Amino acid sequence: MASIEWRSDNSFRVTVSCGYDSEGKKITKKKSFKLDEGLTPKQAEKEAQKLATLFEEQVQKGTYLDGNKLTFAEFIQIWLEKYAEAELEPKTVDEYKKLLKRVIPALGDIKLAKLQPTQLIDFYDNLRENGIREDTIYRALPELKAFIEQHNLAMDSIATEAGITTRTVKSILNGNSTNKAKEICEVLKIKLNTFFVPVGEVKPLSGNTINHYHKLISSMLTNAVQWQLILLNPAERVEPPKIDKKEASYYDEDTLEKMLVLLENEPLKYRAMVSLTLYMGLRKGELMGLEWPDIDFENKKLRIRQASQYVSSSGTITKKPKNKTSIRTITLPDVAVDMLRKYKAQQNEERLEMGDLWENSDRLFVQFNGVPMHPDSISKWFNKFIRRNNLPKLNFHGLRHSNASLLIAENVDVRTIAGRLGHAKPSTTTDIYGHLLKRPDQEAAEKLNKRFNKKSKDGKTKQA
């Protein structure tokens, strides 16, 4: 039986006997609990008995985890298996695993129950250092080639261990810029700054990115508290990293007009993808998940019910949109309907030409043989398009922001904009586009001034 040892009115320790070891020494498992304050003695006793029984069952079944013995890395693995992979979206888990590649080496050896706020602060400070970014570009010094020759190292072997091609290794040794310097250094077991120098300005991680690490760690530790592995979440006692608030990037009307003219010279498929995103404000995943039955040509309606997404661990997947309100039906402008009709006719011709080689799919945007396009294909194409035509730098998601800016400029109400964009609530729209909403607000104030402060002929203000 589990025994309860009270330490105060709302805290106690439970001890469970697990028999004896080979030397005849009694084996026990102990765990401390803290109850909510304000419980009557009878309520506290009842809750304590309940927790003691649960703890005893965990010990007997072998499912009890001891936060004092469990390392943070071991807990992370348990958290991924028992919570993240069961409850979260595959893409989210994929992104978390990328963040954890930095978290585990830095904090993984620390016992879960011993993790302190100061250790988290030190980790965040380390993330702020220059050279920590994965996208930093480096150039190899001539000494690297000499080092490899001196040690008779084969380029094929270096390439295989680094996960890159032999051609890439040769390019690096010839002094060409690369983002694979860290991989090379890991294979050669040398420090990055021994044979590599950064190209251009070296930037630290942004406050937004560091805040992602903090949110992930805090979320995991919240689960650790809920699972009664630790009493308190140390991340809650750390000031969250400051977020670098950036306004949504978008094209103004003049740039959009220029872009649409340039698009006339591009393949119809890409023209349709860019234009549809601009006209409807779709997310990239929603665009790539569209199927022909989602288009109601007669009533000029577009239904958004799924999204296409690439996850490194499982490839391209189809999932539900970001949230419930993202599942929506919105009205298509005539220009979008006309373009989609032309595109559908063209795709039907391509289908006939391919014959049996065509992979049956209802997707709007497919490869030459009917197979759905990779979700990131349009982003890569759009980046090349704007560079080729000397347009201002903008990522593909910026077209969604451009759609919102056009609607705001036309004084469309926020609730309607939120509905078309699939935001969970209008406040999300105002948070993202607050800087754009100030313009119609200023115009409204000026209109009120004209309406209620008309000047009389003698120059005096007359109240309407």
Residue with tokens 């289908």: 351
With beta carbons less than 8 A apart as the criterion, state whether 51 and 14 touch. yes
Our measurement of the distance from residue 148's CA atom to the centroid of its chain's CA atoms, rounded to an integer in Å, reads 39
Whether the full predicted model's pTM is greater than 0.95, yes or no, is no
Percent of the chain predicted with pLDDT > 70: 91
Whether residue 412 has pLDDT greater than 80 = yes
Report pLDDT digits (tens) over 258-290: 999 999 999 999 999 999 999 999 999 999 999
What's the average model confidence in pLDDT over 234-257?
86
Whether residue 445 has pLDDT greater than 80 = no
**CA distance linking residue 269 with residue 368, whole number of Å:** 11
Structure-block tokens of residue 399? 């077209």
**Which homologous superfamily is 253-409 in?**
Intergrase catalytic core (1.10.443.10)
Spatial CA neighbour of 355 closest among 342, 340, 368: 368
What's the average model confidence in pLDDT over 370-399?
94
Of the CATH numbers 3.40.309.10, 3.40.50.720, 3.20.20.70, 1.10.150.130, which one belongs to the domain with range 72-129+205-237? 1.10.150.130
pLDDT of residue 241: 81
What's the average model confidence in pLDDT over 400-416?
87
Spatial CA neighbour of 17 closest among 63, 56, 61: 56
Report pLDDT digits (tens) over 48-103: 898 888 888 877 776 666 667 789 999 999 999 889 998 888 889 999 998 998 89
pLDDT of residue 447: 59
Spatial CA neighbour of 326 closest among 264, 282, 289, 389: 282
In the chain, what are the domain boundaries?
3-61, 72-129+205-237, 138-198, 253-409
Q: Which residue has the higher pLDDT, 319 or 381?
A: 381
Burial 345-383 (b: 16+ CB within 10 A, else e): eebeeebeeeeeebeebebbbbeeebebbebebbeebbe
**CA distance linking residue 52 with residue 48, whole number of Å:** 6
pLDDT of residue 34: 84
pLDDT of residue 103: 93
pLDDT of residue 364: 95
**CA distance linking residue 382 with residue 379, whole number of Å:** 5
**CA distance linking residue 42 with residue 37, whole number of Å:** 13
Top mean pLDDT of 43-47, 218-222, 228-232 is at 218-222
Q: Strand pairing of 138-140 and 196-198?
A: antiparallel
pLDDT of residue 227: 84
Top mean pLDDT of 229-233, 309-313, 425-429 is at 229-233
**CA distance linking residue 451 with residue 158, whole number of Å:** 75
What are residue 286's phi and psi, to 5 degrees? -65, -40
Whether residue 31 has pLDDT greater than 50 = yes
Sheet of 295-296, strand order? 295-296, 301-304, 328-331
Our measurement of the distance from residue 9's CA atom to the centroid of its chain's CA atoms, rounded to an integer in Å, reads 44
Q: How many CB atoms lie within 10 A of CB 241?
A: 22
Whether residue 297 has pLDDT greater than 70 = yes
Report pLDDT digits (tens) over 149-202: 999 999 899 988 888 888 999 999 988 988 888 888 888 988 888 888 888 776
Whether residue 464 has pLDDT greater than 50 = no
How high does pLDDT run on average in the chain?
86
Report pLDDT digits (tens) over 302-356: 999 999 988 877 788 888 887 788 899 999 999 999 999 999 999 999 999 999 9
pLDDT of residue 456: 45
Q: Is 188 helix (H, G, I), strand (E, B) or coil?
A: helix
Which residues lie below 8 Å from residue 93, measured CB to CB, with a gap of 6+? Answer: 80, 84, 85, 313
**CA distance linking residue 193 with residue 197, whole number of Å:** 6
Q: Which residue has the higher pLDDT, 369 or 409?
A: 369
Our measurement of the distance from residue 411's CA atom to the centroid of its chain's CA atoms, rounded to an integer in Å, reads 31
Instruction: Please state which CATH class domain 138-198 belongs to.
Output: mainly alpha
How many alpha carbons lie under 13 Å from residue 108 in its C-beta half-sphere? 13
